[in-house]
Homo-oligomer: A and B are copies of this chain.
Amino acid sequence: MKKRVYSFEEGRAEQRKLLGGKGANLAEMTRIGLPVPPGITVTTETCLDYYNEGKKLPAGLADEIRAGIEKLEEKLGKKFGDPENPLLLSVRSGAAISMPGMMDTILNLGLNDKSRDGLAQLTQDRRFANDCYRRFIQMFGDVVMGVPFGDFEKALEELKEKVGVQEDTDLTADDLDVLIGQFKELYTRGTGEEFPQDPFEQLLLAVEAVFASWNTDRAIVYRRVHRIPDDLGTAVNIQTMVFGNMGDDCGTGVAFTRNPATGAKEIYGEYLINAQGEDVVAGIRTPKDISGLKEEMPEVYQEFVEVCHRLDDHYRDLQDIEFTIEKGTLYILQTRSGKRTAAAAVKIATDLVKEGKLTPEEAVMRIDAQQLDQLMHPSLDPEAKVKVLAKGLPASPGAAVGKVVFSADTAEELGKKGEKVLLVRPETTPDDIHGIVMAQAILTSRGGMTSHAAVVARGMGKPCICGCEALRIDLAAKEFVVDGITVKEGDVLTLDGSTGRVMLGEAQLISPELGTEFQTILKWADDIRRLDIRTNADTPEDASRAREFGAQGIGLCRTEHMFMAPGRLPLAQEMILATNEEERRLALEKLLPMQQEDFYGILKAMHDLPVTIRLLDPPLHEFLPNLEELQVEITRLEMAGDNAEELAEKSKVLGTVRNLSEFNPMLGHRGCRLGITFPEIYEMQAKAIFSAVADLVKEGVNVLPEVMIPLVGHPKELEPLREMVINTAEEIKEKENVDFDYLVGTMIELPRACIVADEIAQHADFFSFGTNDLTQTTFGFSRDDAEGKFMHHYLQKKILEENPFAVLDVAGVGKLVEQAVKLGRAAKPELHIGICGEHGGEPKSIAFCHQAGLDYVSCSPFRVPIARLAAAQATISERK
């Protein structure tokens, strides 16, 4: 029979999967002799069995737990439920991957009417015992049995009003006796049963509640956002209670061994005197900085600092530690690898290398590539003139501008429409996750640096300001007042999570730069990685920026944006409205010098590096007015009947628009299909490219142009277009009397192209996977329609684990990519292969590209550093 219950003495840090992160670390700390209150851990396997057996606790589990508890009783000389010296327990979830705030915790388990008296006697504090008991009933009722937390809170508030006190702590032991009676009644009303007096019954119900909490909606959403598998399960940690709320020689706190925002090597944390742990985390009372403890309890502080250093050394990483001081004695309740900002991650990793604790390779693996995105976020322009409304805690760095909203639902709703919103709440809870996901930044009026909002925002790389107490938020009125100024829903603010400043209006933001430590990490990554990193850029500005971020060339320069520019659109339209080739060529002649100038600028900015230029891709109707709007205008003109000329003109345009309009433009007359039916368009573009190349060569600039034909599905599509490009290049070489190298290749973005990649390779110097379109065609998903109509549903119902437009679908699309690489290289071993779809900047997808043997990935300029790191991580992972 498998062992389901481990005492803390039995486990080790490596048993994370079986015991959960928290349990494994409690065991590890016990092993190395830290002051951990003794306890037992029920394994994650037991949680999975619970679900496999139709949500029933597996047979034998109760006995095993009972045996574990008996050992605790022996060790401590206390008895579970004892009226004189009761054993009290905390029950916490603990999955292999930390999910802060997502899972429910129960404290003071084991209290009943009798053991409450025992606790009172033992501590000589009836008020304390009653307070513990009422908290336990409330927590147990809420978390385990689903009795609304608010009902208990309401009873508490009413009692306080009745006896005329402000604070909970002002209630007397007798008041609390009354409250206990009311809470029990609420419990019975809510559950139909008496509050259980048998502590073992309490315990089993609590264990089951922990297991059940693995599959709450909020846990599922959290796992989806953080890409945590669903089949890990959670362990249950059952630990002897220690009390931080037994008087002023007691306290509780959380601390980090290094600064989780900056990475600086300093103990960083908060504590509350005479409080239980939940008081700190929930952010209800604003805690004190850890440095205060040095004065209040110098010895305890000294011991704590030593523990911190020991843990940091032992784990060779930033630790997030929960501690409690009971009557002057320090207990460590938990340690775990601490969440940190990307900046902190970078600093800590480089510091640990300097400290000789990590190799550069280990340091590279320590950083979450996806999280680096937050370093690439804009920050507030120091020159910007801003009106600071208030200042809160700088809980997660980066600046953001957006409209204020006061509920997660509104944030989600507007965010989905593409609006930039700032979520403003008194404090956030796990139920707000969906709104946090969609918000640009978070602002709370309560809670500290370790409050829910702060932790979650840091994890997601969003700016966050916490504990901004000057804000008086009125959720019902959807407004807050600060310093006499009223800010309403929809008003625009700027938040600076790096300084905690809340500013009125839209302040100027500036683009990020790479700090020295970041550069160091990336330098290590560059030494390790095999994949080249290119960028997708359509302008010289983007090209230069990407180059600064380390891009080794342009993997995708789209040319359609050049047609869309305001001064050029009329010419593009003239070209499209042309009724014959001659007219079309005339319009194209006018566009030629403009395109040439575009290419000149980009090629120059990317001198000495390859630049892949994609010939025109979108369907032509994208350059024309919207059919429906035009039709409405014409109907208006017809009914008004007073402008025959305008009507005639618009009607002509309507004819062309209607003619060009398509049922499924994504699958329509676009890409190389345009090049084949209107060869003169691609000819003009080829001429513009090579004329620019010739000019630059004459100026002594080294350029490496690569012409890319989009949307090829059949070798015979590519063959004539490649020939045309080559002919154009050779003509210009001769005419301009210069020489230069160039490549001609194709996008691989259709399933058919992957299937016949060997034939296509015959006519291509390179392949570049367009995984956006390849995902669309492989799934048969129109991205716009899927994300607008059913993707949310698919993710929620777990039909898809991830949005395949964000993370490359390895099982489907990936198979086609692998096939194309294999066939293409078999036909032409020197074929150069990259990816220029959005997946090129996403770490998991980059790992796939590495494994598939691609030569490079190309991504947006701001994701180039992420890609550099992810490519190195892929190389290291492969070695293992």
Residues A716 and B752 in contact, CB atoms below 8 Å apart: no
Residues A677 and B777 in contact, CB atoms below 8 Å apart: no
Residues B662 and A815 in contact, CB atoms below 8 Å apart: no
Residues B780 and A713 in contact, CB atoms below 8 Å apart: yes
CB of A789 within 8 A of chain B?
A: yes
* Chain B hits for A786, CB < 8 A: 667-669
Residues A667 and B668 in contact, CB atoms below 8 Å apart: no
Residues A794 and B667 in contact, CB atoms below 8 Å apart: no
Residues A790 and B714 in contact, CB atoms below 8 Å apart: no
Task: Please provide the chain A residues from 767 to 812 with a CB less than 8 Å away from any CB of chain B in the complex.
Answer: 773, 776-782, 784-786, 789-790, 793-794, 797-800, 809, 811-812
* Chain B hits for A798, CB < 8 A: 716
* Contact status of A779 and B750, CB under 8 A, knowing A666-B664, A784-B663, A800-B714: yes
Question: Which of B631, B667, B714 is close to A776, meaning CB atoms less than 8 Å apart?
Answer: B667
CB of A208 within 8 A of chain B?
A: no
Residues B632 and A793 in contact, CB atoms below 8 Å apart: no
Residues A812 and B752 in contact, CB atoms below 8 Å apart: yes
Q: Closest B-chain residue to A754, C-beta based?
A: B751
Residues B812 and A676 in contact, CB atoms below 8 Å apart: no
Residues A789 and B627 in contact, CB atoms below 8 Å apart: no
How far apart are the CA atoms of A26 and B365 in the complex, in Å?
Answer: 80
CB of A653 within 8 A of chain B?
A: no
CB of A665 within 8 A of chain B?
A: yes
* Chain B hits for A773, CB < 8 A: 780
* Chain B hits for A809, CB < 8 A: 752
Question: Which of B751, B790, B813 is close to A669, meaning CB atoms less than 8 Å apart?
Answer: B790
Residues A794 and B676 in contact, CB atoms below 8 Å apart: yes
CB distance from A748 to the nearest CB of B (A): 11
Q: Most chain-B CB neighbours within 10 Å: which of A667, A789, A800?
A: A667
CB of A386 within 8 A of chain B?
A: no
CB distance from A709 to the nearest CB of B (A): 13
Question: Which of B632, B664, B811 is close to A631, meaning CB atoms less than 8 Å apart?
Answer: B632
* Chain B hits for A756, CB < 8 A: 811-812
How far apart are the CA atoms of A666 and B714 in the complex, in Å?
Answer: 22
* Chain B hits for A662, CB < 8 A: 782, 784-785, 789
How far apart are the CA atoms of A767 and B664 in the complex, in Å?
Answer: 26
- The copy count of this chain in the complex is 2
How far apart are the CA atoms of A628 and B634 in the complex, in Å?
Answer: 12
Residues B800 and A778 in contact, CB atoms below 8 Å apart: no
* Contact status of A813 and B752, CB under 8 A, knowing A635-B632, A662-B789, A776-B667: yes
Residues A755 and B782 in contact, CB atoms below 8 Å apart: no
* Chain B hits for A714, CB < 8 A: 799-800, 812
How far apart are the CA atoms of A851 and B176 in the complex, in Å?
Answer: 83
* Contact status of A799 and B676, CB under 8 A, knowing A632-B632, A713-B779, A752-B779: yes
* Contact status of A780 and B752, CB under 8 A, knowing A632-B632, A790-B676: yes
CB of A717 within 8 A of chain B?
A: yes
Residues A755 and B812 in contact, CB atoms below 8 Å apart: yes
Q: Closest B-chain residue to A776, C-beta based?
A: B667
CB distance from A525 to the nearest CB of B (A): 32
* Chain B hits for A572, CB < 8 A: none
CB of A846 within 8 A of chain B?
A: no
CB of A242 within 8 A of chain B?
A: no
Residues B669 and A667 in contact, CB atoms below 8 Å apart: no
CB distance from A416 to the nearest CB of B (A): 14
How far apart are the CA atoms of A815 and B757 in the complex, in Å?
Answer: 12
How far apart are the CA atoms of A813 and B756 in the complex, in Å?
Answer: 10
* Chain B hits for A423, CB < 8 A: none
Residues A799 and B755 in contact, CB atoms below 8 Å apart: no
How far apart are the CA atoms of A261 and B668 in the complex, in Å?
Answer: 43
* Chain B hits for A632, CB < 8 A: 631-632, 635
CB distance from A239 to the nearest CB of B (A): 39
* Chain B hits for A755, CB < 8 A: 778, 811-812, 815-816
* Contact status of A799 and B717, CB under 8 A, knowing A782-B662, A782-B664, A785-B663: yes
CB distance from A144 to the nearest CB of B (A): 31
CB of A673 within 8 A of chain B?
A: yes
How far apart are the CA atoms of A779 and B800 in the complex, in Å?
Answer: 24
Residues A716 and B816 in contact, CB atoms below 8 Å apart: no
CB distance from A747 to the nearest CB of B (A): 11
Residues B780 and A667 in contact, CB atoms below 8 Å apart: yes
How far apart are the CA atoms of A632 and B638 in the complex, in Å?
Answer: 11
Residues A780 and B639 in contact, CB atoms below 8 Å apart: no
Question: Which of B749, B800, B816 is close to A751, meaning CB atoms less than 8 Å apart?
Answer: B816
CB distance from A773 to the nearest CB of B (A): 7
3 closest A-B pairs by CB: A664-B782, A667-B782, A668-B785
A residues with CB within 8 A of B = 627-628, 631-632, 635-636, 639-640, 662-669, 673, 676-677, 711, 713-714, 716-717, 720, 749-752, 755-756, 773, 776-782, 784-786, 789-790, 793-794, 797-800, 809, 811-813, 815-816
- A-B contacts, 26 of them at CB < 8 A, read A628-B631, A632-B635, A662-B784, A662-B789, A663-B665, A663-B785, A664-B785, A666-B780, A667-B781, A667-B782, A668-B782, A673-B789, A677-B790, A713-B780, A713-B812, A714-B812, A717-B799, A750-B780, A751-B751, A751-B778, A751-B812, A751-B816, A752-B778, A752-B813, A755-B811, A756-B811
